[in-house]
Structure 1
Amino acid sequence: MTATLAGYDPFDALGTVLGVYLALAALATLVGMPWQYTGGAAVMVIQIVGCVLTFLVGAALLALVYRTE
Structure 2
Amino acid sequence: MIIQNKRIFASILFVLISFVCAAQGADPGPPPPLPPPPVGTPLPIDGGILLGMFFALFYGIKKSVVLRKQ
Give the TM-score normalised by the residue count of structure 1.
0.35
Structure number with bigger Rg: 2
**Greater relative contact order (Cα < 8 A, sep 6+):** 1
Q: Which has the higher helix share?
A: 1
Give the TM-score normalised by the residue count of structure 2.
0.34
